[in-house]
């Protein structure tokens, strides 16, 4: 079942397009991570999905119905979708009263409200904190109270904006455990923005990558700043002191940001003699790190700029490449997306 369907959605602030999604569908009872660099549109998309701000243009369907952005309709939708902000605001009262707040706004009777708030605090491991002053909690504890406040309302969808960005390691583990617990409830869908690749791998069934407001393939980890120059036969982007990559998009000369999709990066051992289909340019590099992620191996290579790519386990074994090895790296120009700035 489709949860959200976005068609032609654009968000413009002060003449600048910060979100431009041609089409995106999110399924119910699933978990999604939103990934991408700062300014890619993650928080803007979350605010739209939470019905907190209407898009400048486009159509959004929620649970099969077109969203009507009139306030009386949004009031009902906001009961189904709750956003937990990166820096949640606590009222200057007790923890339990903070958790009860949404229920009180809905007119839930006092006894039922208290029972739901206590159950939510139990789920986030803060039942003993019920009568403490909320504004005196640590950052991680505050984030967990905010999650409890959302859980008490029993939403269909929970949205999180960088849920562990500003918390210590202990609270990070606790928050991740709560999100995993929410995922196991098939009725509740989870969508969260994160910069943490491993967190996304642990918590999300599906990953959505944003770059310059657009949905793109994996590449959010390979975002770099450079300068485009035009030559008679091609356009190149200079990154760092020595690296030049071919760019097939037609952009004016000057500063740009580029995203390189990992699947467009091929790594060969120094001894390997293999034809490279998409480019004759080979960059000399060194393998800095190899990490196992599910059925894939992620390589972090340095060719004068840092890049990350992915191999299957079999490809990694067959290549014989090890950390510290000198390698040759080929980059498909079609895997490069550039935007001005």
Query: What is the pLDDT, as a whole number, of residue 139?
Result: 92
Higher pLDDT, 56 or 36: 56
Is the confidence at residue 242, as pLDDT, over 90? no
Average pLDDT over residues 97-114: 94
3-state SS record for 236-254: EEEECCCEEEEECCCCCCE
Using alpha carbons, list the distances in angstroms from residue 81 to 47, 84, 92, 267.
11, 10, 25, 43
The predicted model scores a pTM of 0.79
d(CA 184, CA 182): 5
3-state SS record for 275-318: CCCCCCCCEEEEEEEEEEECCEEEEEEECCCEEEEEEEHHHHHH
Pairing relationship of beta strands 81-84 and 2-13 according to DSSP bridges: unpaired
Query: What is the pLDDT, as a whole number, of residue 3?
Result: 96
Query: What is the pLDDT, as a whole number, of residue 146?
Result: 97
Query: What is the pLDDT, as a whole number, of residue 273?
Result: 58
Is the confidence at residue 195, as pLDDT, over 90? no
Query: Which residue ranges form the domains of the chain, and what is each CATH number?
Result: 2-216 (3.40.50.300), 223-339 (2.40.50.100)
At 234, give phi and psi (nearest 5°). -170, 170
Vertex 221 angle, CA 215 and 222, to 5° = 95
Burial environment of residue 274 by CB neighbours within 10 A (0 to 12, 13 to 18, 19 or more) = exposed
Task: Write down how long the chain is.
Answer: 341
d(CA 124, CA 244): 49
Query: What is the pLDDT, as a whole number, of residue 98?
Result: 97
Query: What is the pLDDT, as a whole number, of residue 280?
Result: 59
Instruction: Say if residues 309 and 262 touch (Cβ distance below 8 Å).
Output: yes
Closest-CA residue to 10 (of 64, 55, 65, 63): 55
How confident is the prediction for the chain on average, in pLDDT?
A: 91
Count of CB atoms situated within 10 Å of the CB of 280: 7
Q: 5: pLDDT confidence band, cut at 50, 70 and 90? A: very high
pLDDT digits (tens, 9 = 90+) for 280-320: 578 999 999 998 877 788 899 999 999 999 888 888 888 88
Q: What percent of the chain has pLDDT over 90?
A: 65
pLDDT digits (tens, 9 = 90+) for 108-129: 999 999 999 999 999 999 999 9
Give residues with Cβ within 8 angstroms of 144, minimum separation 6. Answer: 124, 125, 126, 171, 174, 175, 178
Q: 217: pLDDT confidence band, cut at 50, 70 and 90? A: low
β-partners of residue 225 are 257
Query: What is the pLDDT, as a whole number, of residue 275?
Result: 57
Query: What is the pLDDT, as a whole number, of residue 64?
Result: 95
β-partners of residue 123 are none
């Amino acid at each position: 079942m489709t949860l959200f369907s976005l068609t032609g959605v654009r968000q413009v602030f002060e003449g600048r397009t910060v979100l431009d999604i041609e089409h995106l569908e999110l399924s119910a009872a699933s978990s999604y991570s939103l990934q991408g660099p700062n300014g890619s549109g993650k928080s803007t998309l979350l605010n739209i999905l939470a019905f907190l701000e209407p898009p400048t243009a486009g159509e959004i369907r929620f649970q099969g119905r077109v969203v009507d952005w009139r306030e009386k309709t949004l009031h009902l939708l906001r009961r189904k979708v709750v956003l937990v902000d990166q820096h949640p605001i606590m009222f200057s009262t007790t923890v339990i009263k903070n958790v009860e707040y949404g229920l009180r706004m809905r007119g839930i009777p006092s006894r039922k409200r208290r029972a739901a708030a206590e159950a939510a605090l139990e789920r986030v491991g803060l039942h003993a904190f019920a009568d403490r002053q909320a504004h005196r909690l640590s950052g991680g504890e505050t984030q967990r109270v905010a999650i409890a406040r959302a859980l008490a309302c029993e939403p269909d969808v929970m949205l999180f904006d960088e849920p562990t960005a500003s918390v210590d390691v202990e609270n990070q583990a606790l928050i991740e455990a709560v999100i995993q617990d929410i995922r196991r409830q098939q009725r509740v869908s989870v969508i969260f923005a994160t910069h943490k690749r491993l967190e996304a791998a642990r918590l999300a069934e599906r990953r959505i990558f944003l770059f310059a407001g657009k949905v793109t393939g994996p590449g959010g980890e390979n975002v770099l700043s450079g300068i485009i120059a035009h030559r008679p036969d091609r356009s190149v982007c200079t990154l760092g002191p020595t690296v030049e990559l071919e760019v097939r998009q037609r952009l004016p000369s000057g500063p740009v940001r580029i995203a390189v999709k990992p699947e467009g990066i091929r790594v060969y051992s120094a001894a390997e003699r293999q034809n490279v289909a998409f480019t004759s340019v080979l960059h000399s590099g060194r393998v800095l790190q190899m990490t196992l992620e599910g059925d894939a191996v992620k390589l972090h290579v340095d060719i004068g700029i840092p890049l990350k790519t992915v191999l299957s386990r079999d490809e990694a074994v067959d290549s014989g490449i090890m950390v510290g090895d000198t390698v040759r790296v080929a980059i498909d120009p079609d895997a490069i997306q550039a935007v001005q700035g």
